[in-house]
Structure 1
């Protein structure tokens, strides 16, 4: 998986945020977190939802029974960096819960139908995280 992610990151950066293959036309960003245990920087390519001025990512992990490592990292260290296209900015990760979480995840399943499949494959509630820019609005 790490080599696969490295290829996506390399292609993302070489093409101004565009990636081909199975991610052709899929909105991707790079989320840079600080490792919860290691303290080292970690980079993960993620799909996202831009809803009005708000930017969301989803800890779906393909419908796995556990949350992805990047989610644990941002819970421990909510100050993150984001690469969106050719833009880079600092953000604070904010967990969205309750009815608002459900509404945003429902919107995600409308835009990206695969998200509904992930939800069906797991018993956990897939976390929704807003990436709030620290220096300006999205």
Structure 2
């Protein structure tokens, strides 16, 4: 997999609750901290596009067949979240979903694909509809396709 020296250090999101939840999720081996407001969540490890540093965040996810779907909502803010900008440029990521840890490839959905899955994502986490109303930005949905362990 080509991991060089100390590159496995992962910097956890500076947001308070995210850092706490990421730690709980990881330290429990994926048995605690696995939901946000009732919706299932995963740990996304992604590489900084300039720094190359691995970073970790907690994201709610939906499913599309075998794939995982995450929403770059940023709470309806006008700008895309940093993790999204990074994985557009560095799409090879690492996930923890419950007790499982594996590598994945991230790919933003086409408009047609997003239309197909959006109602299910809003059902999973109704705030997404509110977030989309708050911003002119078309909120991206990203497919995470498992590539290995």
**TM-score, normalized by the shorter chain, greater than 0.5:** yes
**Mapped pair 1:19 → 2:33:** yes
* Deviation, structure 1 residue 25: 3.3
Could you say which residue in structure 2 is the equivalent of 1:53? 66
RMSD: 1.9
CA distance in 1 between counterparts of 2:64 and 2:79 reads 26
Could you say which residue in structure 2 is the equivalent of 1:113? 126
CA distance in 1 between counterparts of 2:83 and 2:41 reads 15
CA distance in 2 between counterparts of 1:32 and 1:91 reads 10
- Report the CA distance shift for 1:109/1:74 in structure 2 as closer, same or farther (over 3 A): same
**Mapped pair 1:2 → 2:14:** yes
Unpaired stretches in structure 2, ≥5 consecutive residues? 1-12
* Larger mean Cα displacement after TM superposition, 11-20 or 93-102: 11-20
* Larger mean Cα displacement after TM superposition, 1-10 or 104-113: 1-10
CA distance in 2 between counterparts of 1:17 and 1:35 reads 27
CA distance in 1 between counterparts of 2:115 and 2:66 reads 18
CA distance in 2 between counterparts of 1:27 and 1:65 reads 25
CA contact 2:45–2:57 (8 Å) conserved in 1: yes
Q: Normalising to structure 1: TM-score of the pair?
A: 0.89
CA distance in 2 between counterparts of 1:48 and 1:56 reads 5
Unpaired stretches in structure 1, ≥5 consecutive residues? none
Could you say which residue in structure 2 is the equivalent of 1:68? 81
**Which secondary structure does the structure 1 equivalent of 2:136 belong to?**
coil
Q: Normalising to structure 2: TM-score of the pair?
A: 0.83
CA contact 1:28–1:48 (8 Å) conserved in 2: yes
**Mapped pair 1:83 → 2:96:** yes
- Report the CA distance shift for 1:67/1:60 in structure 2 as closer, same or farther (over 3 A): same
